Amino acid sequence: MTAPHRASEGSRDVVTLRLGDEVLAVPARSLREVLEPMQITRVPRTDDFVRGLINVRGAVVPLADLRVPFDMPRKPADADTRILVLELPLAGTLSVVGVIADAVHEVTQFDLSSLEDVPAVGTRWPPHLVTAIGRWNGRFVILPDLEAIFDSYLGGADTSPPSELEHSSCD
Burial 41-57 (b: 16+ CB within 10 A, else e): eeeeeeeebbbbbbebe
- At residue 170, φ and ψ (nearest 5 deg) are -145, 105
Decide: is 47 part of the binding site for other proteins (CB under 8 A): yes
Decide: is 148 part of the binding site for other proteins (CB under 8 A): no
Residues 89-108 that bind other proteins (CB under 8 A): 90-91, 93, 95, 97
Decide: is 60 part of the binding site for other proteins (CB under 8 A): yes
User: Which one-letter DSSP state was computed for residue 171?
Assistant: -
Decide: is 42 part of the binding site for other proteins (CB under 8 A): yes
Segment interacting with other proteins, rule: CB under 8 A, options 1-9, 13-21, 28-36, 149-157:
149-157
The CB-of-119 to other proteins minimum distance in angstroms stands at 30
Decide: is 45 part of the binding site for other proteins (CB under 8 A): yes
CB 153 within 8 A of CB 37: no
CA dist 7 and 67 (Å) reads 29
Q: Which of 44, 73, 76, 138 binds other proteins (CB under 8 A)?
A: 44
User: Which one-letter DSSP state was computed for residue 116?
Assistant: B
User: Which one-letter DSSP state was computed for residue 73?
Assistant: P
Q: How far from each other are the two terminal CA atoms of the chain, in whole angstroms?
A: 16
Decide: is 83 part of the binding site for other proteins (CB under 8 A): no
CA dist 71 and 66 (Å) reads 8
Helix (H) or strand (E) holding 23: strand 22-27
Segment interacting with other proteins, rule: CB under 8 A, options 23-31, 75-83, 85-93, 132-140:
85-93
Q: Which of 58, 73, 76, 138 binds other proteins (CB under 8 A)?
A: 58
Decide: is 153 part of the binding site for other proteins (CB under 8 A): yes
Q: Which of 62, 134, 144, 162 binds other proteins (CB under 8 A)?
A: 62
Closest residue by Cα to residue 154 from 93, 100, 85: 93
What residues make contact with other proteins under the rule CB under 8 A?
39, 41-47, 50, 53-55, 58-62, 64, 90-91, 93, 95, 97, 150, 153-156
